[in-house]
Structure 1
Amino acid sequence: MIEPRTVPLASSELGSLWMTYQEKTMTYQMLKHFLRHEADEESRALLTRAYTDAGGFIEAIRGILEREGAVVPVGFGDTDVKPDAPALFNGMFAVSFLRMLAKITGGIGALHLGMSYREDVRRLNVELTNKAQNMYEDATELLLKRGMLTRPPIVTPPQETEFVEGLQYMKGHSVLHKARPVNLVETAHLYQQLETNAFGLELMTGFAQVAAEPDARRYFEQGLELARDTVDMVRSLFMESDMNPSPAPGGRATDSTAPVFSDKLMMYCTNLLTTFGLGGNALGTSFSLRSDLPLKLIALATKVYNFAQEGGKLMIKHGWMEEPPQAENREELVLSHS
């Protein structure tokens, strides 16, 4: 085996390590707050495990970058969380947060694994993906056991196979035509949109209550409205097909308005979830065979994309956006010596 130090990090590996470091330092700081207020033993055990795992990945990435002679990102630190702040969320919201994060990091870890070539980076991404999958499993099981997670709609299993006959299957609603009910592949992706935005609604509520900057507070209020509109739109699609899902957020925002997290951290967390939502929307669009569904999902994706763009501008305005690593600017190097 070639020793890692004899093989330089590829550009894709530097980029993926930078992204993972940002997410893990954010998670580490948020878990500090959740752990301080978590009394339930099983929930606390999950949070403690996630906290330890995040710390381990932070140290592992820092070690790789330092051995490579690369600068370690700033990410997030102790100044991004108020240690004595009252609880911002109650119920089992912290476990719901872990479950949502496990969905995101599991997907990102698998994506980054496909961009990894050096043995130590591959091994790190394999471990990250495995831990995320295990956390998703354990958080889901605990939430179900406590009645804090609602399953997608239950339907009668099909008794025979069928094939599509005619293009009517692909038509959406019109004045003269009522669309078929959503099929179960479409249902699966729509429910993920519903569940993600039900969670996001509570997260945005809490963030809006404690944001320090007025424009950040308004931004989180916009996120709250976007999540609420998405929940209403997707639920109406289910209702048209005689299904009535009601995803539980797994906990709620308290009435606290005391600062907990820095605006920088909350903006990054929102951006991470927004990016995840855009990816889920794209998958849902690609698997939808009813012509009106992609149109609705694309319109939603446009709103989400614009929301993300406004968030980026706001982060730049306040100096909260850390710049990702980039390749050498050859033109600037040449000009600097001219």
Structure 2
Amino acid sequence: MKLYKRIVNLMLQKGLYTRPPNIDIADSVDMIDQQRYMAGWFGKKRPLTASEISGISYNMQKTVVKITLEIAFGQVCKSKAVQKFFLLGKDICEKHFSIFRDILQKSDLSSPPTFASEVTDSITSPYSEKLMLNHIVLLVSAAIGFYGAGLAVSQRRDIAVDYTRMLAEIGLYANEGAQLLIENGWLEQPPLAHDRDGLAKRKG
């Protein structure tokens, strides 16, 4: 945590760190008294809640990192199949980033910047394709959990639908990555529980 705070402070000093959107602290407690609080498809949408802003902002920050990595990894990758996977992930992340940005903009809230322009023109990879592919697949798997957390705190139906569509899309993408790892012999099998049926049959 000390290292994390030092990094954030340094980024703030250099103007590289974007703070999440701010909202005023409420001076009273308001109770929900109308069903339209949950609405979002038709008519006027209510402003975003602090929880919804937090989920969207965090997922955007994570998506920015993934876009930058996929641009860089795709640029130095030699395998056409792995490169295609990275570039597909970049396109998906850019689409998701745009969806999140539009939600914030419609509530007059700021969005984090992207860092795609910071990627150099190097085509020499500092890492193996095995490492790069495993890293991206792990990030996608983590993203599924973070999208789920964002969905859980979103009480506006239109935002919930956006999260659901994005979850389905990155779920398919994660599966494609796992298949690619298996094809290349790069996916280590985790420890398995005992196959009780198989043991019983073998005994007989």
TM-score (norm 1): 0.57
Q: Are the counterparts in 2 of residues 149 and 249 from structure 1 also a CA contact under 8 Å?
A: no
Mapped pair 1:272 → 2:147:
no
**Cα drift, residue 232 of structure 1:** 0.4
* Whole-Å separation in 1 of the counterparts to 2:155 and 2:163: 12
What residue identity is the alignment partner of 2:192? Q
Moved more, 263-272 or 156-165: 156-165
May I ask how many residue pairs the two structures share in their alignment? 204
**Cα drift, residue 301 of structure 1:** 0.6
Which residue of 175, 179, 184 maps to 2:50? 184
Q: Are the counterparts in 2 of residues 148 and 250 from structure 1 also a CA contact under 8 Å?
A: no
**Cα drift, residue 334 of structure 1:** 5.4
Mapped pair 1:298 → 2:170:
no
**Cα drift, residue 137 of structure 1:** 2.5
Which residue of 130, 133, 148 maps to 1:282? 148
Cα-Cα RMSD = 2.0
**Cα drift, residue 337 of structure 1:** 6.5
Determine helix, strand or coil for the equivalent of 1:168: helix
Q: Are the counterparts in 2 of residues 278 and 305 from structure 1 also a CA contact under 8 Å?
A: yes
What residue identity is the alignment partner of 1:147? G
Determine helix, strand or coil for the equivalent of 1:310: helix
Which residue of 190, 193, 196 maps to 2:62? 196
- The within-5 A match list for 1:170-181 is 170-174=38-42, 177-181=43-47
Relative to structure 1, the CA distance from residue 318 to residue 168 in structure 2 (aligned partners, 3 Å threshold; closer, same or farther) is: same
**Cα drift, residue 169 of structure 1:** 1.0
Q: Deviations over 1:276-316 (max 9, x none)?
A: 11111111111111111111101101111111000000100
* Whole-Å separation in 2 of the counterparts to 1:324 and 1:251: 38
Mapped pair 1:142 → 2:45:
no
Determine helix, strand or coil for the equivalent of 1:173: coil
* Whole-Å separation in 1 of the counterparts to 2:11 and 2:179: 36
Question: Structure 1 regions of 5+ residues with no counterpart?
Answer: 1-132
What residue identity is the alignment partner of 1:151? R
**Cα drift, residue 272 of structure 1:** 1.5
Determine helix, strand or coil for the equivalent of 2:55: helix
* Whole-Å separation in 2 of the counterparts to 1:251 and 1:269: 21
Among the aligned pairs, what percent are the same residue?
25
Mapped pair 1:238 → 2:101:
no
Q: Are the counterparts in 2 of residues 285 and 297 from structure 1 also a CA contact under 8 Å?
A: yes
* Whole-Å separation in 2 of the counterparts to 1:277 and 1:264: 20
What residue identity is the alignment partner of 1:260? P
* Whole-Å separation in 1 of the counterparts to 2:141 and 2:117: 23
Q: Are the counterparts in 1 of residues 23 and 50 from structure 2 also a CA contact under 8 Å?
A: no
TM-score (norm 2): 0.91
* Highest RCO, 1 vs 2 (Cα 8 Å, sep ≥ 6): 2
- The within-5 A match list for 1:83-232 is 133-174=1-42, 177-232=43-98
Question: Structure 2 regions of 5+ residues with no counterpart?
Answer: none
**Cα drift, residue 328 of structure 1:** 3.2
